[in-house]
Structures are given as structure tokens and as C-alpha cells.
Amino acid sequence: MQPPDALRNLDLLVVGGGVAGLSAAVRAAAAEPGLRAAVVAKAAADHSATWWAQGGVAAVLAEREVERPSFTDSVESHLSDTLAAGAGLCDGEAVRVLVGEGPQRVRELASFGAHFDRGASGRWLLAREGGHSVARVVHSGGAATGAEVERTLVAAAVALGVTLVENWFAVDLIVRAGRCAGVTFLTADATTVEVGARHVLLGTGGAGQLYPVTTNPLQSTGDGIAMALRAGAAVADVEFVQFHPTALDAGSPDGPRVLLSEALRGEGALLRDEAGERFVDEMAPRDIVAASVADRIRSSAGGHVWLDISGVSGFSARFASLAERVRQAGVDPDREWLPVAPAAHYMCGGVMADLDGATTLPGLWVAGETACSGVHGANRLASNSLLEGMVFAARAVEAILAGKSSPDPTGVLRALNAPAPDDGGAIRVKRLHRSAETATGPVERPSSTAPCERSAGTVSDDRRRLQKAMADGVGVLRDAGSLAEAAGVLDVIGHQYGCAHKDVTSGVASLEIRNLAEVASAAIAGAQARTESRGGHRRSDFPSTLDAMSCRFVQ
Ligand code: SIN
């Protein structure tokens, strides 16, 4: 089918309707002269991971803008907290861009109409979250910041006349003469459409659905990262899946978990074990708290850990949407401690990009969770995610407007083709060949001519099988044996679904498994190669952090 008129002759085709994609489209449409831009998303706005984001946006704002206690903040402090959380794998140049340009992006969002919570003086209130040395997170509705960001950006995009298409699934990138030239979609009525564009930006979010227990929406199936891998764009750091330590361990076991925002711990909520004792510094970076919660659950008789929110004054009023969801899950937050467990939350790695979001495939740009811009390293600092989407989407559009058409050796791309290791202080890169190592030895990845053979089970059964393999083998704690087991399962599923593109009418559910398997295999390959523990990647067989592993695995 031919694309509709609104999707022809595009300067910028944005895939994904969250903070990154919408920020790019709004900037493109607002420019003078503007770019002809469109956003195509696989679901409605309230199904984007952005909508679900809670904590807020970390940014060092001016004293006159915020209700600030006695301390002062600085960009250098935000920089050093981000680097510390990233456990040695952040790209310093990229982090400097993030923290330096972040405040301006927050003000811009407010100028579009975003309402951030204000104190008695009318200035913005700041929350403190894990890993931050001071309170520096602006928020909305207590912990409903993502919904406000999404609402604001959708309204801005509509006001600027940006074409927004929902319920179209991106199947694959179109690559012509070494350039990304568009995207093939499966429309809501299961028709295949090729949409061409001078530039394509992926803001498709992460891959929380790799795991059965996740805070991410059902749509977070790693689509952008998988498409980029298939198109040959460089991808890195995907072994660093961040687990959030405090997802509500109650309610339906199927479907995404209710996230209990870190802002609660910033307001005095405490983690308690079965004896009622505290066991970790609640304000430590997320990887440390998640590992500690997982460890305490494993070693306790009943397998429980709780978040005690009795010290959070006015919880139900200040965090109204959260309180409502906790009640819906059958827990009374006014009377009970809240049962918690770690849940897959954020993909720290992704498609490698320079400081403008340009990938190694000319014409392809990324921003937000889909990207490996180098700002998160081995573990993302709380509330740096919405920020990353805003900052790097804006930079991508500015670069396109300035006529840039291929990547520069900046940020994480600086070391990619560097002749010598440690060139200019960049983290070294090591290339991984994606033939998975399994319990039975190396296995060739399926070729596109291999026959498609499905197992007897349903597509949902296969998705659950994949998720279980990831939870068992590539969870908060992994080792060589668990990774090999997971690789074995993923090879089978990857083979079965790897050729789903031949029959796109097999539907979105099959194509999502194809993408999940692609990203899972990459995550396993990275985790097998990384014989150390660092940030969100913890191996029981290699518990130390090694200088020799201060590198990025690129696939
Ligand atoms: C949270 O509110 O705890 C999550 C915020 C984030 O993922 O940065």
C-alpha cells in the first residue's frame, strides 16, 4: 500500500510517541523553516513508557526557580552523581551535554504548558532520589510526571500540525545505498506500508518486556534496538538492564507492576526485611538497592521485603495516582507496609549515537531509551531518562537542520574506530560477534533463508517462555551457567521467529517476539562477554569489577 499524503516527502520520520519522539517532532515542526515531520507510534500516547514514568526530571535549575532548602546545587554535582551511578562506563562528554542542556529543556517544556509541582512560594518543588547528592528532581502530581510530559508534548505536536499516527507497528528499517531511507510498517488493519524519509529517528523506548516482572508497558519490546541490529547499526551496553528495586509485589501476577517511585524513599520511606530491619541505604544508586533487595528476598524464609511509607507525610494526597494504584492492587497504603520486589525497568544500553543522536547508519538517529548515548553507563541515575529524551532529541533535530547527514566521532562513537585504546579518554570498545554460546557450544544465528518452524504452543506461550528464560538466566544476578541456559532457549525462539518478516501478517505479537529475541540474544552475548560485576550487570561467578572490563561491548 502507498503511504497516505501526510506521510510522503518527509524530512523526518519519527518512530515512537514518547518523550524522545515527540520532543524531536515538536522541535522539527517549530523550526523556521520547519521540517516536514511525522510521528508513527505502535500504540496510543497513554501506552508509552513516558506516560508511565513517575519520579520526574533531574536538572540543576536556578535558585530563583525552585523551592530550595539551605544547600545549593551545581551542574558539576549532577555530572559527578551521574558518572558515579554509571559505574565507570558513562561517556563524560555526553553526560556534560545532558546536565548542561537539561535545565533549558525543562524550562522549554514548562513554556509549552507542563505543570510541575510548586511549593508555597510558587516555585518548583524538588525531590531527592537515589544516587543524587541533593534534591534536584522536578515532578508533577507527586509521581505522575511522565503523564504530564506526554500530555504536554502531544498537545504541542498537535498545535504545530505534526502528523501523529497510532497503532502502526514498525517492522524494519529501509536501507538504500548504505543510508536509512525509511521504515516499513504494519498498519492497524495489517497492511504493509513503506514510508520513506530523508531522516528517521527512533524513539521506541526500551525492552522491559524481556522479563515477566517489569514496570514497563506491554509495548516495550525493544523494537527500535532490534530493527537497528538487523540493519547493522552499532548497539552497545545492552547487558545493562536496570532493575528498579521497589516495584509493588502485589496485584495480578500478569502484566506490568506498579512502580513505587524512588521519590518515596527521598521523602523518608524505608526498606525493611522480614524482621522489620533496614538493610541498605535507601538513597544509594538503583543498582545497589536492587541487588540488595533481591539478595534479602533470596535469603529470607518468606521471600519478602517491604517499603515502609509511614514516614512519608500525606502519602495518599501527595502521591494520589500512586496511592490509587496501590489500593487497586489490594494493599492499603494507610495501614500496611508495601510488599516490594525488583522489576525490569530500563535498558541502559541501546543503539550507539554520537552527541547529536546520529547512529553508525547514516540517516538513522536515536534518542531516549532506545539510544546508547553514553549518559547512563552501567546504571542510569534516577530521573535522568526523561531528561535524556528531551536533550538528545533536540540536538538531533538541530543537527539535521544544520545539514548534518552522517555521524561524527563524538560521545560513544569516538572510540568506535579509534586506532588506539583509551583514545582521548573515551571508553574502549570491543566488538562482539553475535554467535551465541550455548550449553552445547557455539550456535550459528539463524539466516534469513532458514525455514520458519513454530513450536506447537501459542505466540503468548512463546513470549512467556522467552521472559522466563530471561528472568531465570539474565536477572539481577547471573552466571555462566544461567546465561548459557538462557542462550539455548533464545536460540530456539530466535530461530522460530527470526523469519517472521517473511510473513508480516503473522501479526504484531509474532513480530514483537522476533524483536524481543533479537534484543535478548544481544543482552546475553554482552552478559557472557562481561566477566565481571558492574552497575546493573552482576555475575555471581565474577563478583568483582575489573579494570580490564572498563570497555563497551559493541554488536
Ligand atoms: C522512579 O520514580 O522511581 C523512577 C524514576 C526513574 O526511572 O528514573
Distance 341 CA to ligand 1 centre (A): 15
- The parts of the chain modelled with pLDDT lower than 70 are 69-71, 419-425, 434-456, 500-505
Distance 345 CA to ligand 1 centre (A): 9
Whether the CB-CB separation of 453 and 499 falls below 8 Å is answered with: no
pLDDT of residue 498: 85
pLDDT of residue 505: 62
Where along the chain do the CATH 3.90.700.10 domains lie? 247-342
Class of domain 247-342: alpha beta
pLDDT of residue 452: 62
Q: Which atom of ligand 1 is nearest to the CA of 385?
A: 8
Which of 502, 492, 498 is closest to 455 using CA atoms? 492
First to last CA, the chain: 33
CATH of region 5-239+348-412: 3.50.50.60
Where along the chain do the CATH 1.20.58.100 domains lie? 421-554
Residue with cell 517473511: 502
**Ligand 1 pocket check: which of 81, 138, 140, 262 to mutate, most ligand atoms within 8 Å of Cβ?**
262
User: Which of the following is catalytic: 68, 286, 380, 530?
Assistant: 286
Cβ neighbours of 459 (radius 10 Å): 17
Query: Which grid coordinates are listed for 224?
Result: 527500535
Active site residue 151: no
Query: Which grid coordinates are listed for 85?
Result: 551511578
Residues in contact with ligand 1 (CB, 6 Å cut-off) = 54-55, 143, 259, 261-263, 382-383, 385
Which fold does the domain 421-554 belong to in CATH?
Methane Monooxygenase Hydroxylase; Chain G, domain 1 (1.20.58)
pLDDT of residue 376: 98
Predicted confidence (pLDDT) per residue in 258-314, tens digit: 999 999 999 999 999 999 999 999 999 999 999 999 999 999 999 899 999 999 999
Query: Which grid coordinates are listed for 223?
Result: 523494537
Predicted confidence (pLDDT) per residue in 146-168, tens digit: 999 999 999 999 999 999 999 99
Which of 296, 297, 292 is closest to 282 using CA atoms? 292
Distance 131 CA to ligand 1 centre (A): 12
Whether the CB-CB separation of 168 and 180 falls below 8 Å is answered with: no
Whether the CB-CB separation of 272 and 296 falls below 8 Å is answered with: no
Distance 473 CA to ligand 1 centre (A): 25
pLDDT of residue 253: 80
